Chains A and B, each alone.
Chain A
């Protein structure tokens, strides 16, 4: 029975063997998510706890002790504890922003596909505008001028990448509207909301999820870049970018302060990119 099922399965599905890189990426992301959820339980110290007698202690293996496995900073704060809490902050922002961008973009894309006409033109114009300006420049001005709070910052990050979702959602929804199933549901008397959320969305969700996976690392990079400039997450809160920005001051004397968060940023963006590429190849080869 199982032999027959295997033989009958399409070649791509017969044996789902994950490439080693994807497995490693998946493992890293599971670790990161676990850290994000459990940061407060995992961290050995409070992120503001000072250990003034152990300032600028190097990590274990470089002359440090197990008391501070990743060393300490200028004020004797434990780098590992700060790193764990920073991971949680960066993951929270990246997730929040990715979800906001996906919802906003999909909604605008559906509106454009449904109403066409001037609504579509306005959406297309906004997409053009968004795509034609470097987002960092827009974000810089909004942030520094509106001041900075965490909800505002997440919302602002959520404006990044909505244009791609909108473009994809509009294109796919227009295509779906021309297909039998959408017309059939409409003929049965379903309201537009039901057609789009109940029928069109499930059919194009795979593509949208892949698109979200591709924009997640961009948000991580953007958040850490802004925080590095001192315009993102503000002390006493800390994120990976904030840590790098702080560590930059001690580059010559205590490079570990900066190397720990840098490594996490690179491994995380790398993992999500690998997963995103892999998902795209499996789910939707048409998306590039």
Chain B
């Protein structure tokens, strides 16, 4: 288990380094930020001063090492637009984004997992068909289409809810529903197939055959085993708490991290983009690590040594 943990930690670290490197290489080599920020016909002296101030006149590898060193010191640079620390800008937007993504995550789990379990237990029933149709819709309807349709119905025609824009709870309803419905369908589908796989296992038959009531078979044997793949998907969804709402925030003009990222990218505000990337990567890596640890909790066989292909 310790070796397993160390390996996972090392991989997580490598992923973070890769993300930082990726961000740095892509953002820095793709053009001269001085020209973008200052305008191309700025006096050469001003351009030079700008480059010097931001360290852009150094060789790329020096900039890279400096950047890495700064991250290790917890400095993520300043926004080139208004000179404020990039981290502060991002953190300022975090509550708005979490206000959408956390309720949406709860909606996904609260709707998707029970629906998936129910569909699996009543296979080929009407409920199963409805859940599967919903799952397919959740996967195939893009979030911006769903969001705009909801706006069309509930904001434009019925006038019940605002089409977003402010960060009041009423404005959050449509974006949360947009995010939640799509994810719930995907989660329902995963839960259903995980349950179906478990229900086909010999130990379920054994438990039934020895006279355990079906309700207890489901609760004691099927659910815990089906939880493992489901947790993986939920873990991935936790990882997207920060980055998962880029498109939906745009649809509803929501002032969250996603909007900040889109605007920062079009302004070539390197520090902000790198900051968001790093934050997203850390969340994803942390979520994946947590999932790995949860496996140990959910599946005692993994506590000793991981045996490949074990059922």
| Beyond known contacts A244-B145, A262-B148: 13 more, CB 8 A cutoff | A129-B14, A129-B19, A132-B281, A132-B284, A141-B265, A141-B277, A145-B265, A221-B140, A229-B246, A229-B250, A231-B266, A248-B148, A265-B145
Query: In whole angstroms, what is the CA distance A270 to B138 when docked?
Result: 10
Identity of the chain B residue whose Cβ is nearest the Cβ of A126 in the assembled complex: B18
Q: Which of B25-33, B52-60, B94-102, B218-226 contacts A (4 or more CB under 8 A)?
A: B25-33
* CB neighbours of A128 from chain B (8 A): 11, 14-15
Within A125-146, which residues are at the interface with B (CB < 8 Å)?
125, 128-129, 132-134, 136-138, 140-146
Kindly identify which residue among A137, A217, A269, A274 contacts B261, using a CB–CB cutoff of 8 Å: A137
| Contact present for B144 and A141 (CB under 8 Å) | no
Contacts A/B (CB < 8 Å), 13 sampled:
A129-B19, A132-B15, A134-B284, A141-B23, A144-B265, A145-B265, A146-B26, A228-B144, A229-B247, A229-B262, A252-B156, A265-B145, A266-B142
Most chain A C-beta atoms within 10 Å of own C-beta, residue among B27, B141, B142, B240:
B142
Within B4-42, which residues are at the interface with A (CB < 8 Å)?
11, 14-15, 18-19, 22-23, 26-27, 30-31
Task: Flag B152-169 by CB within 8 Å of A: 1 or 0 each.
Answer: 100010000000000000
Query: In whole angstroms, what is the CA distance A170 to B293 when docked?
Result: 26
* CB neighbours of B141 from chain A (8 A): 266, 269
Identity of the chain A residue whose Cβ is nearest the Cβ of B288 in the assembled complex: A132
| Contact present for A134 and B142 (CB under 8 Å) | no
* CB neighbours of B143 from chain A (8 A): 225
A179 adjacent to chain B (CB < 8 Å): no
Within B63-92, which residues are at the interface with A (CB < 8 Å)?
none
A204 adjacent to chain B (CB < 8 Å): no
B120 adjacent to chain A (CB < 8 Å): no
* CB neighbours of A258 from chain B (8 A): 148
| Contact present for B151 and A251 (CB under 8 Å) | yes
| Contact present for B284 and A144 (CB under 8 Å) | no
| A284 CB to nearest B CB, Å | 15
Within A195-235, which residues are at the interface with B (CB < 8 Å)?
217, 221, 224-225, 228-229, 231
* CB neighbours of B149 from chain A (8 A): 262
Query: In whole angstroms, what is the CA distance A122 to B149 when docked?
Result: 44
Query: In whole angstroms, what is the CA distance A132 to B290 when docked?
Result: 13
Assess A133 versus B31: contact at CB under 8 Å? Given A144-B268, A248-B148. Answer: no
Task: Flag A133-163 by CB within 8 Å of B: 1 or 0 each.
Answer: 1101110111111110000000000000000
Identity of the chain B residue whose Cβ is nearest the Cβ of A247 in the assembled complex: B148
Query: In whole angstroms, what is the CA distance A44 to B32 when docked?
Result: 44
| Contact present for B243 and A136 (CB under 8 Å) | yes
* CB neighbours of A251 from chain B (8 A): 148, 151-152, 156
| Contact present for A244 and B148 (CB under 8 Å) | yes
Assess A141 versus B26: contact at CB under 8 Å? Given A134-B240, A229-B262. Answer: yes
Identity of the chain B residue whose Cβ is nearest the Cβ of A263 in the assembled complex: B145
A2 adjacent to chain B (CB < 8 Å): no
* CB neighbours of A133 from chain B (8 A): 19, 280-281, 284
Closest 7 CB pairs of A and B: A144-B265, A269-B140, A145-B30, A262-B145, A270-B140, A134-B243, A146-B30
Most chain A C-beta atoms within 10 Å of own C-beta, residue among B139, B141, B265:
B265
| A167 CB to nearest B CB, Å | 14
Query: In whole angstroms, what is the CA distance A138 to B284 when docked?
Result: 13
Per DSSP, chain B at the interface is helix
Interface set of B (CB-CB < 8 Å, partner A):
11, 14-15, 18-19, 22-23, 26-27, 30-31, 136-137, 139-145, 148-149, 151-152, 156, 193, 239-240, 243-244, 246-247, 250-251, 261-262, 265-266, 268, 273, 276-277, 280-281, 284-285, 288
Per DSSP, chain A at the interface is helix
Query: In whole angstroms, what is the CA distance A252 to B137 when docked?
Result: 25
Task: Flag A262-288 by CB within 8 Å of B: 1 or 0 each.
Answer: 100110011001100000000000001
Identity of the chain A residue whose Cβ is nearest the Cβ of B151 in the assembled complex: A251
* CB neighbours of A274 from chain B (8 A): 136
A255 adjacent to chain B (CB < 8 Å): yes
Assess A288 versus B144: contact at CB under 8 Å? Given A140-B262, A145-B30. Answer: no
| Contact present for B244 and A134 (CB under 8 Å) | yes
Query: In whole angstroms, what is the CA distance A67 to B280 when docked?
Result: 49
* CB neighbours of A245 from chain B (8 A): 144
| A241 CB to nearest B CB, Å | 8
Query: In whole angstroms, what is the CA distance A227 to B23 when docked?
Result: 22
| B310 CB to nearest A CB, Å | 16
* CB neighbours of A145 from chain B (8 A): 26-27, 30-31, 265, 268
* CB neighbours of B151 from chain A (8 A): 251
* CB neighbours of A255 from chain B (8 A): 152
Query: In whole angstroms, what is the CA distance A269 to B143 when docked?
Result: 13
* CB neighbours of A217 from chain B (8 A): 139-140
Query: In whole angstroms, what is the CA distance A288 to B268 when docked?
Result: 40
* CB neighbours of A288 from chain B (8 A): 193
